[in-house]
A and B are shown apart, each in its own frame.
Chain A
Amino acid sequence: MARFCSLSVLSPGFLSTVQDLGRFHCAHWGISPAGAADPVALRLGNSLLGNAPGATAVEMTLIGGMFRFEADLSIALAGSDFGPTLDDTAIPTWQTLFVRSGQVLRCGPTRSGARCYLCVDGGISVPPVLSSSSTHVLNSLGGIGGRPLVVGDVLACSPHHILPYADPLAVREPALYSLYHSNVIRVTPGVQGDLFSPDTWELFSSSSYVVKEESNRMGLRLSGHSLGYRTTKEMTTEGASLGAVQVPPDGQPIVLFVEHPTTGGYPKIASVISADTHRLGQCRPRDTISFQLVTHEEAFFLLSRQERLLAPDQCLRSTL
């Protein structure tokens, strides 16, 4: 039985947008999927509430926002620690919570990674554009008017529960450690991997890269050892997908992210494995990452193993 509720945006923070798991089947029109930068956190937050995995949530970036709940509602914060308070009392991340009408949630600057998701019972109701509620910020497409949230926005939701959950849940610490502790990003060889010499590959997989300020949902711009390559001619523009590590003429790699251009003309040395792309969503400017080459078989094994870990009976525990 769904009822109509809402939450008001009192302050949007640095960059808050509504996101689901992305908009697919549109790349041939030049539209990349967008969606949650850390889809694992979104899925876990939804899991805590018994929502569908891709139920729409508010993605907060670096500095969180302030929201007033206009009805009694169950929520969960999933992702980095933004020091959340409810009516000035500290509340936990990664747990099912019950809020009352009129209560104010405040999320401040991050104390760990880049993003945190405010998930609500039943998800945020956002009319879909091309079958998705995701906001593509660069293309001003989808979500709430194709833009980040602003003061005064009212987000609607239709929760399934009136009372607090009978069995409130939390994400197990070992699962979180397994999913988030490492800053090593595993990759498989890219389409133009052969353009780069063995020495360059050695450099790529043994050095650290710093995430630059200019990084955003389109791509993570990295600074570190230059990756040179020999080209006899300009590469013909070809399709590009999430996680591709492209190398422009200056040799500084760019990891394509959720709002990537659908085609590109820079050589791709490698591609981030699907099991690790969610950690890209937690990288802040000035964080360091390093890369490790794995085989396609290993990449698939790691993804399958992670998927088993994300099953509710594996990663959630009761808080009673």
Chain B
Amino acid sequence: MHSTESLFPRIQQASDHSFVVFLGEGISRLHHRNVVRLFRLLQLQPNRATRNLHPAFSSLLVSFDPLLTHPNDFRTYLHELVERADSVEISPPRVVEVPVCYDRSLGQDLEFVAHHNGLTVEDVVRYHCSVEYLVYFIGFSPGFPYLGELPDKLHSPRLPSPRLSVPAGSVAIGGGQTGIYSVPSPGGWRIIGRTPMKLFNLDRDPPSVLEMGDLVRFKPITLAEYQKR
């Protein structure tokens, strides 16, 4: 993988059972594509010691069993794949439409986000639905997509302390990011609506409806439509 910055790609041992590969610094679609390529190659050519893959914005953490493959040998394996990741083809993204009910009863922080940005609630909905978001990766909790880029006009600070439980399907804003709590979980982001779509389903293979690299478009639905589903 050739980059104009000689700092990347970089492999760092994160623990005695994991390595992190940095493909760049910060958040960008370019770094994302490099993460996707490496992720695909790690899936196509697995090491028998691999336990988990954790893709993120511009890095990928790989955990492994050091008793099955010695850490030095695992690093060599990773290095070989990193060198070849450039050649991996990325398939064209799927566009997934996610219906969202932006009613105050389902989005407790809708008015906060509006007020914080000097907008009406209708403006918030309009801006939130105006963009095709990239699923950078699924992380934090089952099926939770990290989406970008959120329009500047909607950036809102996280809660001072997280709620103990946020209902599944809650669509939220945290700083400059937006996401969807696919399963109930504690949550510190601002909730602006809820989707009736089941984004995480164990009866499905894969269990997460959204995948890294998908494009998401939000579509507003009424409370009546939400209740019908």
Which residues does A use to contact B, with CB under 8 Å? 24-31, 33, 129-130, 138-141, 188, 190-191, 236-244, 261-264, 268, 271-274, 296, 299-300, 303-304, 307
Contact = CB atoms under 8 A, between A and B. Distances in A.
A297 to B, nearest CB: 9
Nearest to B27: A236
Given A138-B185, A244-B15, A30 B142 contact: yes
Contacts of A191: 12, 14, 20
A195 B67 CA distance: 30
Please indicate which of the listed interface residues B12, B54, B182 has the most CB atoms of chain A within 10 Å of its own CB: B54
Contacts of A262: 52, 54, 139-140
Contacts of B183: 139-140
Interface stretch (B57-65, B83-91, B97-105, B119-127): B57-65
Nearest to A32: B52
B151 interface: no
Shortest 7 CB-CB contacts between residues of A and residues of B? A239-B61, A239-B54, A263-B139, A271-B15, A27-B52, A299-B16, A29-B208
Contact of B141 (A236, A244, A261): A261
9 contacts: A28-B137, A29-B142, A140-B183, A191-B20, A236-B27, A237-B56, A238-B59, A239-B20, A263-B56
Interface in B144-169: 144, 146
B225 interface: no
Contacts of B184: 140
B217 interface: no
A231 to B, nearest CB: 14
A216 B60 CA distance: 26
Contact of A238 (B20, B71, B206): B20
A130 B52 CA distance: 13
A239 B55 contact: yes
B116 interface: no
A262 B54 CA distance: 7
Please indicate which of the listed interface residues A24, A238, A272, A273 has the most CB atoms of chain B within 10 Å of its own CB: A238
